[in-house]
Amino acid sequence: LPKACIFDLDGVIVDTVPAHFVAWKAMADELNIPFTEVDNEQLKGVSRTESMKRILAMGGMTKSNIEIEEMTTKKNHIYVEIISKMTPDDILPGVVEFLDLLDDNNIAIALGSSSKNAPVILEAVGLAHRFPVSVDGNQIAHSKPHPEVFLLGADRLGLSPSECVVFEDAISGVQAAKRGNFKCVGVGDSTVLSEADVVIPDMKNIDLTIFDNL
């Protein structure tokens, strides 16, 4: 068994993927840049500023840093408006049961998220106390696929990457885990997350056998 599991937040612990998409789509619409859920897949795990730059690049546009800052602030207002209504009902199915199972087996639990909103979201859904080690977008310089967020998590756990398993729904997040020498469970579509060591469709009904094939 691993000594710890490090979880991504958005799309693994809580169902915020649609809210991010709606907010980015609003910004893309304003710029007349076509933006679909398929495009959004590439932005999962990527920081706010980098996401904005990628949307601009999709439209062949460039903007000054000040304009990018204004647009990301606006996007975040739309996003925060949506997530401010979050409750424990927005925890993805199976998550609480799996965290309980890890606790019962003395496997440590940590968060590794690119989101600056992570602390607010964990509070809103009542899970803050389940993540004594929590690394988020406020604490890192390099967004996924850079492994910094997970390396810092392992460091705070006092463990090496090989002792931890990362759970990720984003292509960039799986890449970050692998670059950091972590084992990685992909959560979602196995064709999209093909770089993960094992892929599960969602967090439902996971037991300790998940660690057998890593």
Catalytic residue numbers read 8, 10
Does 11 sit near Mg ion (CB under 5 A)? yes
Please choose, out of 29-37, 38-46, 59-67, 202-210, the segment that lies near ligand G6P by the rule CB under 6 A: 38-46
Select from 4, 25, 28, 47 the one that contacts ligand G6P (CB under 6 A). 47
Binding flag, residue 145, Mg ion (CB under 5 A): no
Cβ-in-10-Å burial (0-12, 13-18, 19+) of 50 comes to middle
Query: Least distance (Å) from ligand G6P to the CB of residue 190?
Result: 19
> Smallest distance, Å, CB 145 to Mg ion?
12
Minimum gap (Å) between residue 54 Cβ and ligand G6P: 10
The count of other CB atoms within 10 Å of the CB of residue 137 is: 18
What SS3 class is residue 207?
A: coil
Residues 159-198 that bind Mg ion (CB under 5 A): 169-170
134 neighbors 25 (Cβ within 8 angstroms): no
CA dist 209 and 202 (Å) reads 15
